[in-house]
Amino acid sequence: MILDERAGPLAGEPLESLAFVRELQGFSAEGPVLPRAALDAIAAADRRGRLPRDQRGTATARALAAAHLLDDRDALTPEGLLVRSHWQSDSLLLEVRRRGTAGRLSAWRGRDTVLIAASAPAVAEQFAGDDVQLGIVSIDGAVPAIAAWIGIAPAWTFSDGPVTVPLEIYEARLRDAGTPAPASAGAHLRRAWSATWVEYLCSSPQLSLRLVTAGAAGLLGVVVSGAQATIDSVPPATAFSTLLAQYSDALEFAGR
Amino acid sequence: MTDESRAGSAWATVRVPEGWQRLEVAGADAVIAPPPPAGGFRPNAVLTCVDSDAPIQDASVAALLAATADHPGALVVACDLWPHAVHPGRRILFTYPAGGGAEVVVQKFVWATGRRHVHLTASCAIYQHLSLDQGFNAVATSIRFEEGS
């Protein structure tokens, strides 16, 4: 059993390393990878599933065909129609925009399922930045999928209290890990400050949640107000529950 | 068991919240559950003890590994200190797909007494998690280790 040599002193007792858990799990979707722009073409198909004329024979159409979403008559396949069915109610439940390594995850509600279109996870980068992988999950399976994409995972978390910094300092730190930590930062935030940061802005029609993943130091919650950013550690369980609450509200709004 | 408000074994007991029921399940020291919902998954909390003198760090790693090994597709979300007992503890949170589109959320509380590893495994459907989270935490907080545990 491996101990976490950095977290243990913060807790005042030996703590097991939790890093191995991240290696056992991650975001996985079973659908095709295609350019995000191809999703617009699917949405623009007519009632019978035929692509608009100006889309036929284009690189977008070829990408859809390669993903088995379009047949050789420029009509959506049953799989393509299933993807499109998630937009008939115009129900974007949740969108997560990623900064640090740019990316986006969108989740739309269908009748009994949720369509997820996600850039490659930040830790994986298996495919091009403008491409998305599609996945259709159950309504109850969406939050674990989104949490996995963000990288919510066990991490020893200690609160030294929130720290407020000028927004430009926060933005500088997002761009450059060499940006000095604020003088008021406690031991846990200092540890997190020195890790690799990726920001996730989770938005639903009702509210937004801004999280930063900081490697083994876990998650930070960030509240931007005017020219200030308030940063505090967030236990992963709390982040998961908050994301679940946000999703549940969005489902209710969309009329589950 | 002489205290009607508690459930468990000779080694550990938890308080049974008002309105909850005791269920008989083979292999468990105790199973308690809130009143059954009109349909869907019935939430429950299962108390078990196994002999082990390994420290809490080992008990935690074993529980984390079991979460992914026992439940294909599981996502382990959290592992936190659980300081509300005389023995060191952890609270592990994970989810797993249970078939038919269902997703179960598990809060697994683990303690190491020096002689035993005590587990309280509280499960519910994901859509029940926000309303049951505090109730399960209260059950875990009520853990009492009996003499000789």
For residue range A185-221, list pLDDT tens digits in order.
999 999 999 999 999 999 998 889 999 999 999 999 9
Chain B nearest C-alpha distance from A141 (Å)? 6
Distant-in-sequence, close-in-space partners of B41: CB < 8 Å, separation ≥ 6: B98, B102, B104, B123, B124, B125, B128
Which of A16, A23, A152 is the best mutation test for B, with the most CBs of B within 10 A?
Answer: A16
pLDDT digits (tens, 9 = 90+) for A74-110: 999 999 999 999 986 567 899 999 998 889 999 999 9
* Predicted local confidence at residue B1, as pLDDT: 45
Distance CA A212, CA A192 (A): 10
DSSP state string for chain A: --B-TTHHHHHTS--B--HHHHHH------S-EEEHHHHHHHHH--TTSBPPGGGTTSHHHHHHHHTTSB-TTSBB-HHHHHHHHTTTTT-EEEEEEEETTTEEEEEEE-SSEEEEEEPPPTTT--S-TTEEEEEEEETTTHHHHHHHHHT-----------EEEEHHHHHHHHH-TTSPPPTT--HHHHHHHTS--EEEEEE-SS-EEEEEE-GGG-EEEEEEETTEEEEEEE-HHHHHHHHHHHHHHHHHHHT-
Asked if B60 and A16 come within 8 Å (Cβ–Cβ), the reply is: yes
Distance CA A186, CA A163 (A): 9
SS (H, E, C) chain B: CCCCCEEECCCEEEECCCCCEEECCCCCCEEEECCCCCCCCCCEEEEEEEECCCCHHHHHHHHHHHHHHHCCCCEEEEEEECCCCCCCEEEEEEEEEEECCEEEEEEEEEEECCCEEEEEEEEEEHHHHHHHHHHHHHHHHCCEECCCC
pLDDT digits (tens, 9 = 90+) for B36-89: 999 889 999 999 999 999 999 999 999 999 999 999 999 999 999 999 889 999
* Predicted local confidence at residue B126, as pLDDT: 98
Asked if B76 and A144 come within 8 Å (Cβ–Cβ), the reply is: no
Which of B87, B94, B126, B132 is the best mutation test for A, with the most CBs of A within 10 A?
Answer: B126
Cβ contacts (< 8 Å) between B126 and chain A: which residues? Answer: 140, 143-144, 244
pLDDT band for position A152 (cuts 50, 70, 90): very high
Of B61, B76, B97, the CB nearest to A153: B76
Asked: is B6-145 a CATH 3.40.50.1000 domain? The reply is no
Tell me the two tokens of residue A179: 């940006």
Q: Are B13 and B22 a contacting pair, CB within 8 Å? A: no
Task: For this complex, say whether ipTM is above 0.90.
Answer: yes
